[in-house]
């Protein structure tokens, strides 16, 4: 939640600010429903070479499971964009996205991390962990930048390993069930680490993975450039990521429309909007492809899009479904929930995860779809009808096209 700083000298102004906050704050944040979980720093992280961008210790938040869920674990990667050059990483290192010194010590657990059975019926009593994100490369880098003046640690891979090794003696080593999940850049991290988690847990454990808004398309933008491909290329080069990527995937790197999903052997669930607002704003119509701002109104409100813009957005949905076609048809262990909401990340909020007014496909909420898939209660591969048919959507759109950036979203 963004904090709006105002110069207030009158009580009237203070009251107005409070009323505005209450009016526009997400309805899922209620004091009586908040679960605040304290931060745990990884004390021996440096022994693994694990550091945040600024050199601070990595961290996580753990809320213990109980009852029938005491031996089950959810590990949730925090999201928050990337930095793909030294200047943006130096900037990031001085924010909560690059330093645990600047992070909140308490984190709200909601949605898939809630401990309330009525809000999270399948996973409420599991051990739930949020892995804090401070490396700028989806927990995947392994290098360092040091020019004698500035020092940056690109150690996301080591952060992942250090946190897992800290959790293993706390019960993770004897997990019966585990779900690795994440949102956005954290969703991308699940692709990178899904199979490695499976290898670290008991052979008889049920391990599955969920990516929320982490399936990023490799498509041309409105200027016919592969803007996201270029961005990730620079990210991989800067942070020394290539050696940590799936090598079977890397050997096939020149194949068209290559996605890592086909090389993951652990059961996998894709949760994504076909009109993901981050990809809409930064992959399909990045600011560099819309210098005159013709898309600004459409980005802020889908109802303001003209017929040509709607056609472009339907093309984005087509590309998403085409990229997932093989997974949809051939995966016997996979699950999907591809809705037609203008949103980005839907598993971490009560409103979009499991509530009376949550988004639905075929009258099934996201929580129900994920639970049915995880517990093998039925095949769950839900694809929504095209915009604007879905009246259950929560269109979660940033207040301006510049609010959602690669560096913090």
Using one digit for the tens of pLDDT, what is the confidence trace for 83-108? Answer: 999 999 999 999 999 999 999 999 99
Rounded to an integer, the average pLDDT of 245-258 is 70
Residue 7: alpha-carbon gap to chain centroid:
34
Is 282 considered catalytic here? no
Closest CA to 161 of 229, 91, 230, 75: 75
**Could you give the CA distance from residue 395 to residue 234 in angstroms, rounded to a whole number?**
31
Is 140 considered catalytic here? no
- Tell me the chain's radius of gyration from C-alpha atoms: 21
Checking if the pLDDT of 408 tops 60, the result is: no
Checking if the pLDDT of 12 tops 50, the result is: no
Upper half-sphere CA count for residue 33 (Cβ side, 13 Å)? 17
- Residue 402 is predicted with a pLDDT of 45
- Residue 335 is predicted with a pLDDT of 98
Q: What contacts 395, CB < 8 A, 6 or more positions away?
A: 302, 341, 342, 343
**Could you give the CA distance from residue 357 to residue 69 in angstroms, rounded to a whole number?**
27
Query: The pTM is what?
Result: 0.88
Q: What is the pLDDT of residues 203-215, one digit of tens each?
A: 999 999 999 999 9
Checking if the pLDDT of 256 tops 90, the result is: no
- Residue 399 is predicted with a pLDDT of 63
- Residue 253 is predicted with a pLDDT of 65
If 0-12 CB within 10 Å is exposed, 13-18 middle and 19+ buried, where does residue 313 land? buried
Which residues partner with 73 through β-bridges? 127, 178
CA distances from 146 to 49, 137, 149, 313 (A): 15, 18, 7, 43
Is 344 considered catalytic here? yes
Checking if the pLDDT of 294 tops 90, the result is: yes
**Could you give the CA distance from residue 31 to residue 223 in angstroms, rounded to a whole number?**
46
Which residues partner with 337 through β-bridges? 271, 382
Written as one string, the DSSP assignment of 174-218 is G-SEEEEEEETHHHHHHHHHHHHHHHHS-TTSEEEEEEES-----
- Residue 262 is predicted with a pLDDT of 87
Rounded to an integer, the average pLDDT of 304-328 is 96
- Confidence category of residue 269, pLDDT binned at 50, 70, 90: very high
Q: Is 360 helix (H, G, I), strand (E, B) or coil?
A: strand
Of residues 168 and 395, more confidence is placed in: 168
- Confidence category of residue 246, pLDDT binned at 50, 70, 90: confident
Rounded to an integer, the average pLDDT of 42-56 is 97
- Confidence category of residue 409, pLDDT binned at 50, 70, 90: very low
Residue 39: alpha-carbon gap to chain centroid:
19
Of residues 48 and 21, more confidence is placed in: 48
> Tokens 């928050």 sit at which residue?
80
Rounded to an integer, the average pLDDT of 292-318 is 96
Rounded to an integer, the average pLDDT of 334-353 is 97
Q: Is 144 helix (H, G, I), strand (E, B) or coil?
A: strand
**Could you give the CA distance from residue 303 to residue 340 in angstroms, rounded to a whole number?**
14
Which among 212, 276, 351, 384 is annotated as catalytic?
276
**Could you give the CA distance from residue 244 to residue 262 in angstroms, rounded to a whole number?**
17
CA distances from 294 to 202, 289, 297, 300 (A): 54, 10, 7, 12
- Confidence category of residue 257, pLDDT binned at 50, 70, 90: low
Q: Give 58's DSSP letter.
A: P
- Are the beta carbons of 197 and 93 closer than 8 angstroms? no
Rounded to an integer, the average pLDDT of 236-244 is 92
- Are the beta carbons of 179 and 77 closer than 8 angstroms? no
Closest CA to 210 of 184, 237, 244: 184
Checking if the pLDDT of 344 tops 70, the result is: yes
- Confidence category of residue 403, pLDDT binned at 50, 70, 90: very low
- Are the beta carbons of 51 and 45 closer than 8 angstroms? yes
Angle at 87 between CA 85 and CA 88, to 5 degrees: 70
Checking if the pLDDT of 139 tops 80, the result is: yes
- Confidence category of residue 373, pLDDT binned at 50, 70, 90: very high
Helix (H) or strand (E) holding 11: helix 11-24
Q: What is the pLDDT of residues 156-174, one digit of tens each?
A: 999 999 999 999 999 999 9
Rounded to an integer, the average pLDDT of 17-30 is 36
Which among 344, 347, 384, 409 is annotated as catalytic?
344
Checking if the pLDDT of 9 tops 60, the result is: no
- Confidence category of residue 254, pLDDT binned at 50, 70, 90: low
Of residues 395 and 134, more confidence is placed in: 134
Q: Among the listed ranges 26-40, 200-214, 276-290, 298-312, which one has the minimum average pLDDT value?
A: 26-40
- Residue 15 is predicted with a pLDDT of 36
């Amino acid at each position: 939640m963004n904090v709006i700083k105002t110069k207030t000298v009158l009580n009237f102004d203070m009251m107005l600010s409070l009323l505005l906050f209450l009016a526009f704050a997400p309805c899922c944040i209620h004091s009586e429903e908040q679960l605040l979980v304290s931060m745990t720093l990884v004390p021996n992280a440096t022994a693994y070479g694990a550091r945040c961008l600024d050199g601070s210790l990595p961290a996580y938040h753990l809320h213990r499971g109980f009852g029938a869920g005491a031996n089950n674990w959810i590990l949730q990667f925090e999201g928050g964009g990337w930095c793909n050059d030294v200047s943006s990483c130096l900037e990031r290192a001085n924010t909560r996205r690059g330093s645990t010194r600047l992070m909140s010590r308490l984190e709200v657990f909601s949605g898939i991390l809630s401990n309330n059975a009525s809000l999270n019926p399948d996973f409420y009593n599991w051990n739930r962990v949020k892995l804090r994100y401070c490396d700028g490369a989806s927990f995947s880098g392994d290098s360092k930048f040091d020019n004698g003046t500035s020092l940056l640690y690109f150690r996301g891979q080591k952060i992942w390993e250090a946190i897992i090794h800290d959790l293993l003696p706390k019960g993770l080593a004897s997990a019966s069930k585990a779900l690795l999940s994440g949102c956005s850049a954290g969703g991308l991290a699940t692709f990178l680490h899904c199979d490695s988690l499976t290898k670290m847990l008991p052979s008889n454990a049920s391990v599955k993975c969920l990516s929320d808004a982490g399936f990023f398309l490799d498509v041309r933008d409105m200027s016919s450039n592969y803007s996201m491909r270029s961005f990730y290329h620079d990210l991989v080069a800067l942070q020394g990521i290539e050696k940590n990527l799936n090598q079977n995937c890397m050997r096939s790197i020149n194949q068209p429309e290559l996605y890592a999903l086909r090389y993951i052997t652990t059961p996998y669930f894709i949760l994504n909007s076909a009109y993901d607002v981050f990809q809409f704003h930064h992959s399909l119509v990045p600011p560099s492809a819309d210098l005159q701002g013709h898309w600004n109104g459409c980005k802020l409100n889908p109802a303001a899009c003209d017929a040509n813009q709607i056609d472009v957005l339907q093309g984005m949905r087509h590309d998403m479904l085409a990229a997932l076609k093989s997974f949809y048809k051939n995966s016997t262990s996979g699950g999907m929930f591809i809705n037609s909401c203008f949103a980005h990340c839907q598993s971490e909020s009560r409103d979009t995860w499991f509530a009376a007014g949550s988004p639905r496909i075929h009258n099934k909420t996201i929580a129900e779809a994920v639970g049915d898939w995880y517990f093998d209660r039925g095949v769950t591969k839900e694809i929504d009808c095209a915009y604007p048919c879905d009246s259950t959507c929560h269109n979660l759109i940033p207040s301006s096209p510049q609010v959602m950036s690669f560096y913090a979203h």
